[in-house]
Amino acid sequence: EIVLTQSPGTLSLSPGEKATLSCRASQSVSNNFLSWYQQKPGQAPRLLIYGASSRTTGIPDRFSGSGSGTEFTLTISRLEPEDFAVYYCQQYGSTLLTFGGGTRVEIK
């Protein structure tokens, strides 16, 4: 099983600031099959990024994904009020799909 470790657990930032979220895999993620999801309270998760760096239709370009192998990053260039949420990474390159534990981005 590929274990995904997200850091930090909580990120306290102000609107307009840049957010950098990390996702580290215990072994290489096949074909960089890694996604990022955003979840707000009381809502289902929403797909932001797939294939490590491809943005889903309708996702603003302030969201970007990068990385390969075992190290991946989600960057939010300038935080908007609606971006404060929990973010999960997920790998789908193996037959046992796994999620990271999440990073909460909160208003400072």
* Residue numbers at the binding site for another protein (CB under 8 A): 1, 30-31, 33, 35, 37, 39, 44-47, 50-51, 56, 88, 90, 92-102
Q: How far is the CB of 11 from another protein (least distance, A)?
A: 16
Choice between 70 and 102, CB closer to another protein:
102
Q: Environment class of residue 14 by beta-carbon count within 10 Å: exposed (0-12), middle (13-18) or buried (19+)?
A: exposed
Contacts with 72 (C-beta within 8 Å, 6 or more apart), sequence order: 22, 23, 24, 25, 29, 32, 34, 52, 65, 66, 89
Nearest residue (CB) to another protein, 14 versus 43: 43
Q: How many CB atoms lie within 10 A of CB 91?
A: 26
CB of 15 to another protein, least distance (A): 25
Q: Closer CB to another protein, residue 14 or residue 95?
A: 95
Write down the least CB distance from residue 19 to another protein, Å.
19
Nearer to another protein, 39 or 77 (CB): 39
| 37: enclosing H helix or E strand | strand 34-39
